[in-house]
Every structure is written in C-alpha cells, then in structure tokens.
Amino acid sequence: MNMKKILLAAVNARYTHSCLALYCLKSYTRGTDAEITIREYSINRPAPEIAENIASARPDAVAFSVYIWNVELIKKILPEVRRRLADCVIILGGPEASYNPGSWLDAYPFTNYVITGRGEAGFRFLVENNMRHTEKIINVPNPPFGEMPLPYDHGDMENLKNRYVYYESSRGCPFQCSYCLSSRDDQKWEAKRPETVMEELAFILSHRPRLLKFVDRTFNLKRERYRKIWNFLIDNGRDAATTCHFEIYPGLLDGDDFAILSRCPKGLFQFEIGVQSTNPETLAAVKRNGNWEHDRAVIERLVGLGTVRVHLDLIAGLPFDDKSSIGSAFNSLYALRPDHIQLGFLKVLPGTEMMERADEFGIVYAKSAPYQVLETGWLGAEDIRVLERVAFLIDRLRNTCRFRATLAAMERLSITPFDLFLALADSLAGYSVPLTRAPESGAGFLAQVIKERFFEKKGFLMDALRRDCRSASGKRPFSEK
C-alpha cells in the first residue's frame, strides 16, 4: 500500500494559535511524493468531533504533536481515530511523547510510531520509507538548524491569516534553568544566519500577520546577529501592521541596543522577560544566572523608553520561594509599571532536572499535564490557591488597563500592591458572580470590593471607578447599585 496521503493534526490551546512544529514537518518533506495537509483544532472541541473530522479526510497516515496543553485531549482522540480508521498509520511526536515513547506505546499499542528528538528528519525518514519501519521508536538526527527550510509557503500564510504566526531563528538554549526542557543536553543552541532570517522575515511580513511570535528561548544572545535582525525589522516592518514578540534576557542589553530600540515604532516590538524570581537562593537552586538589581535597572530603562511593549513573568512554586519572597518580587515588578505582568506556576515537566529533584525540594505536583505544582516545602496548598486568585485578578483587572485609576487609588490605601491583590483575592473567594473579561464584570467586582473593604473611602474610589468606565467605553460611566 502506498502511503501518500498524510494528515498533520494540530490541537492548539486557542483558535488564534498555530502549531509551528507541523509546518516544519511539512516543509521538510518538500520534494517527496507525499500529499501532506495540516488541520488545526482547538482544545475546546470534543475528541469525537476532532476524530470525525480527521477521518473525513481519509488519510493513509495521521501525525500528532503532543504538548502539555493538548496531551489529555489527544489521549482521548487516539482511540477515536483508530476506531474510525483501522488501517491508518498513527504517528506521535512533540515533547510529551518524545521524552517517554515507551509509555505511550504501552498505553496505546495501536500507535505505529513515536518520533523522538527534533523530528523533521525522523518524519521524512518515515515518508521516504512509505511509513514502514521495523522499529516503532524513530530517532533520526536532524541536519544543522541553519540548513532547515522556512516552514511556510504562500498557501500556509493565507491559511494563517487570522492566527498567530510562530517563527524560530534559533533552537535550543545555552542556559541551564532546571525547570525548562531547553536546558537538556540534547537542546544545544543553533541558529540560522541573520541573512537567512531576514530573507525569511521579508516573506512573512509581506503577508502582514497580526502577531509574529519568535519562539527563540533567548533572542538577544549574539549581539551582531540579533541587532541586524532588529534593525531589519525596524526598517522594513513599519508598514506591515505586525507586532513582533521576542523572549529576551535584559542583562544582555546595553547602550547600543537602546539606541536601536529608540528607533522602533511603537507597537512593532514586544518583549517577554522571564524574571521568574528575585530571590537569590531560588535563582541559584534552579541554575538561573543574573543580577536582579542590574536587570531591574535595565527593565526600568526599557519601560521608560516607551517604544517597546514589556511583559514580565514570575513563577510561583520554585524552591526556596515562599509567599513573602514572591510578594517582594511581585512588588518589584509592579513598581516597574510594565505593560503586562504574569504570575505563572511551576510546571514540573518530564525530562527536566526539576522533576528529578522534586522530592528533594518537597515539591508536590500533578501527575498529569500540565504537571502544575500543588505545594512545596515553602508554599502550602492554600498558599498556591491564593496565588492563583492573585494571578487571575492581575490578568482580569490590571493587565486589561481598564481600571488604572481605581487600582492606583486602591494602591494608595494599601501597604503594597501585593497586599492589595491579596485583599482582592480574598474578596474573590467569596464573590458569587463569575468575573469575566467584560468591562462591566470587572467594574461590578471592584464596586463590591469598595463597599466591603474601602467603605470609608467609598466616594473617592467610586469616582475613580466611574472615570475608568468612562475612559474604557466612552459610554455612561459605571453607576453604583
């Protein structure tokens, strides 16, 4: 049987997301006689519905890329696909499958192959061998990353018109953060030449994607390289209506970088900076280098520059971080006034050093994806739940920028921003109405908090809330009930 019709199935966390890995597989099989198509789904769709849609394509083979956000759903999809397509070759790859292929083959023995490693060469090997091989675990080394083709063609870019476009100019990471898969020995840093990157970016920008997300683990590693790319984007991306998202390390930025970034049109660049913790003992335990005071000064300068949108991350649940040290880090980040603050939670990923040392640190975590921390030697389960509510409120109230006047007024009446959000989290625990992203929902919650916790300053705070509502909607301001 000639296995020519191959379907690559992506199961993404949101409709706006796309799966870069499958576009890489497709592009790397150009020149073969395989007919390869990509179908992208959301985790919000039921498993039988996704399986039925896959079956309707009548593929000879179907491949899934398995991640922490889709693994539980894919476990449900696999038997549904097999019931509908008895003779279809099923292939798994991605970090969730490739780091423990044996357990997947044991649990789903009808799976034909699991591709380990970076994947493209292993997938092409199966395609060129008509999906036949004596071994079920496929491990074929990739060529150097600099030789890998651009993942997208014109048809792909048209299909991605309303989605995020992901791009990698480098793979791997030279740092050794113990909770990250990129710290593994098999994830050495490799990069494409800046000239190749600029040529590929010119093609992508010509299609005017809304968000171009660089997935490089630390984009600003090699100064000559990343400065060429930044200058290219500033000179050529002004009219593309595209925002370029980078993960950067602030400690590597210097005066020459700020000179470049001062030329950046507002809205073109956004930087995600993983602070993760400001506790020196924690940073040493997870093998993160850096000097927080130096990094803080760089971030302050970056925010003050005003040309780049700044997103700062913290991780709760790391070794030696308790509620007090997390609060201190939270206050430090809040004082910098970035565009976005994210309080995330440690994921104890299979294949990482953190998983190997979890017992040593007293870290208890969920045994199913996304393997989130439940408690540690420094944070109890109730502490985690409180911090989850704080994270939720930061996202709903602070990051939306809809309640700036109200939150600023509340901050002046609180000891610290962290104390304010702990109080808000306490109110949320007893709030019976769902707090959604709708402006009226946030205003309703804040009005209730004002009545319960700030009654003596009720008039002052309600005036601030009305100003926020008027500013956000241009409509009649929120009225007290």
Mean pLDDT computed over 29-36: 94
Which residue, 163, 161, 164, 181, is CA-closest to 173? 181
Sign of the four-CA dihedral 48, 54, 60, 63: negative
- Check pLDDT > 50 for residue 481: no
Distance CA 292, CA 314 (A): 13
Six token digits for residue 442: 């946030």
**Intervals of CATH 3.80.30.20 along the chain:** 146-379
Fold of 5-143: Rossmann fold (3.40.50)
Average pLDDT on 135-150 reads: 96
Block residue for tokens 């104390």: 419
Closest CA to 10 of 1, 20, 2: 20
Structure tokens, 140: 């074929």
pTM for the structure as a whole:
0.92
According to the model, what pLDDT value does residue 473 have? 62
Query: Which regions of the chain carry the CATH code 3.40.50.280?
Result: 5-143
Helix (H, G, I), strand (E, B) or coil at 99: coil
Convert 351-375 to b/e letters by CB count within 10 Å (16 or more is b): bbbbbebbeebebbbeeebebbbbb
Averaged over 400-408, what is the pLDDT? 95
Mean pLDDT value of segment 260-289: 95
Which tens digit of pLDDT belongs to each residue from 421-441? Answer: 999 999 999 999 999 999 999
**Strand pairing class (5-12; 61-65):** parallel
- 8 Å CB contact between 191 and 222: yes
Q: What is the pLDDT of residue 478?
A: 35
Identify the pLDDT of residue 472. Answer: 72
Mean pLDDT of the chain: 94
pLDDT for 24 equals 97
More confident residue, 472 or 197: 197
Q: Please state whether beta strands 211-214 and 165-167 pair in parallel, antiparallel, or not at all (unpaired).
A: parallel
CB atoms inside a 10 Å sphere around CB 429 = 10
Band (148; pLDDT cuts 50, 70, 90): very high
pLDDT of residue 240: 65
Q: Which helix (H) or strand (E) segment is 287 a member of?
A: none
Mean pLDDT on 227-237: 95
The string of DSSP letters for 30-82 reads TTSS-EEEEEEEETTS-HHHHHHHHHHT--SEEEEE--TTTHHHHHHHHHHHH
Nearest C-alpha neighbor of 85 from the set 56, 105, 123: 56
Write the DSSP assignment of 141-171 as a string of letters. Answer: PPPPGGGPPPS--HHHHHHTTTS-EEE-SEE
> Is 382 buried (19+), middle (13-18) or exposed (0-12) by CB count in 10 A?
exposed
Q: Assign 106 to helix, strand or coil.
A: helix
CA distance 392 to 343: 9
Separation of alpha carbons 430 and 166, rounded Å: 40
**For position 162, what pLDDT does the model report?**
87
Q: Residue 150: its pLDDT value, please? A: 97
How many Å separate Cα 374 from the centre of its chain? 21
Question: Would the pLDDT of 141 be above 60?
Answer: yes
CB crowding 74-113: b at 16 or more within 10 Å, else e: bbebbebbbeebeebbbbbbbbbbbbebeebbeebeebbb
Domain 146-379 has CATH 3.80.30.20: yes
Distance CA 424, CA 232 (A): 44
pLDDT of residue 476: 36
**For 276-317, how does the pLDDT look when each residue is reduced to its tens digit (9 = 90+)?**
999 999 999 999 988 999 999 999 999 999 999 999 999 999
Q: Is the pLDDT of residue 475 over 50?
A: no
Give yes or no for a contact between 9 and 37, defined as CB atoms under 8 angstroms apart: no
Least confident of 131-140, 234-243, 453-462: 234-243
Q: Is the peptide bond before 434 cis (omega within 30 degrees of 0)?
A: no
- Kindly state the DSSP code that residue 240 receives in the 8-state scheme: S
Q: Backbone dihedral region of 368: left (phi > 0), alpha (psi from -120 to 50 degrees) or beta?
A: beta
Do you know the residue count of the chain?
481
Residue 479 has pLDDT above 60, yes or no: no
Exposure letters 190-212 (e unless 16+ CB within 10 A, then b): bbbebebbbebbeebbebebeeb
pLDDT in tens, 64-119: 999 999 999 999 999 999 999 999 999 999 999 998 999 999 999 999 999 998 89
Q: Could you give the CA distance from residue 321 to residue 323 in angstroms, rounded to a whole number?
A: 7
- CA geometry: angle 212, 218, 222, nearest 5 deg: 105
Given a cut of 50, whether residue 158 has pLDDT beyond it is yes
The secondary structure of residue 396, as a DSSP letter, is I
